[in-house]
Structure 1
Amino acid sequence: MNKIALITGASSGIGEACAHVFAREGYSLILTGRQSEKLEKLAEALNIQYNTEIAVSVFDIRDKAAVSHNLEVLPEAWKKVDVLVNNAGLSKGLEPVNLGNFDDWDQMIDTNIKGLLYATKIVSNWMVANGRGHIVNLGSIAGKEVYPNGNVYCATKHAVDALNKAMRIDLLPHGIKVTAVNPGAVETNFSNIRFKGDTERAKKVYEGFEPLVAADIAETIWFVVSRPAHVNINDLTIMPAAQANGVTFVRK
């Protein structure tokens, strides 16, 4: 079997773009997510285009038992994972902390932090046994600073930033690389999810400047993964040219 990449949240956005890039580069893929139909269609399209082996595993990253069961039942050959892309994540709501929604908070914490840990615990042990691997954690500019009303989402991405640093230390003796890729504004369905289907509000986030797109992040992830064996990029922040930080943009 070719090298293997496991991508969480692969049914859309950055995860889907990563699937295309890694398939293009000759990897076999384990695609995970909640949306079975989208994952199966993606797998079929990638197989036709790139003739690559693909395993689809459908589960909610927030469900510890489901993550464990669905990954551990994979055939042993599929556990020789070379790259884990911890992509699954989301933002829900944009309110000041005193008006925040408990359910939104739980979903962000359970997905962005706990889900990342569930997948990492299992796959990192495979990598330790295999003596190789590279974990790429999708962070955010929100993990480097905070912005108005971003409170809990920013907190979850700050946690990813800390976990990335800790993983780098913990897994260093095992020869496993760890990288965080931290995007600024990327036009995917991120804002539509944040604003709970309010597409007009979501569109306004990207008005007046050229945002990043999912393929920009996928190509960046491929760049860090494809460095020589002696090179590890610990932490990378990528922004649209029109964005300086979490809140400063030039809009036309």
Structure 2
Amino acid sequence: MLENKYDDDVFFEKYGEMSRSRLGLAGAGEWPTLQPMLPPFEGKRVLDLGCGYGWHCLWAAQHGAARVVGLDLSEKMLEVARQKNTFEQIEYRRCAMEQAEFEPGSFDVVLSSLALHYIADYAALVRRVHGWLAPGGRFIFTAEHPVFTAEGSQDWYRGEDGGILHFPVDRYFYEGARQATFLGEQVTKYHRTLTTALRTLLQNGFTICDVAEPQPPAEMMGEPGMADEMRRPMMLIVAAQKL
């Protein structure tokens, strides 16, 4: 059965307290890096995989998208997204991205924000996205960085005084499931190397347009823990195009 941690009451409440949940794209540290990597949305058909609260769906609609479909497995997330939706061209569906079915060439842009590290079979999803995209369509995603997912615990090593010593990187070339602690709860995520993340796209009909490892923007450096994000990459952004 597919894991759906976001419909757990305790986990969902904690998620709702995060800056990116309360402030939307303005509270997402990667947004200043991601935004310039997005294609024009005017007249485009857009699919958002793991849409969560629907922030990227709203952005696409606000910038002229003709049709936007947001998929998420969490009904609680979709309830919030529907409350925020003021555009008739946005449709939200409860569905796992691994089980979604669309006609070939249904979309011009496929987005995914911090969801692909929950997917066990990345290659299968890449093939499906390729099929859903029209020729020349774009696939842009953010995911947790392989350095961040490798060891599994996703927590700093700390000294006796509680201060940060370093971030653990281990088992890098052993891909697969990891039991991580996120918002104080146990969550299953999937580690894959940078080679796998990029080469899988190249092997399945995509060309890579851009890659970024976003750093916290200057205006967020004063927030708790944000300066420490400069000590290791937490996120990877990839923009690819269907050949």
The alignment's TM-score, normalised by the length of structure 1, stands at 0.47
Higher strand fraction (1 or 2): 2
The alignment's TM-score, normalised by the length of structure 2, stands at 0.49
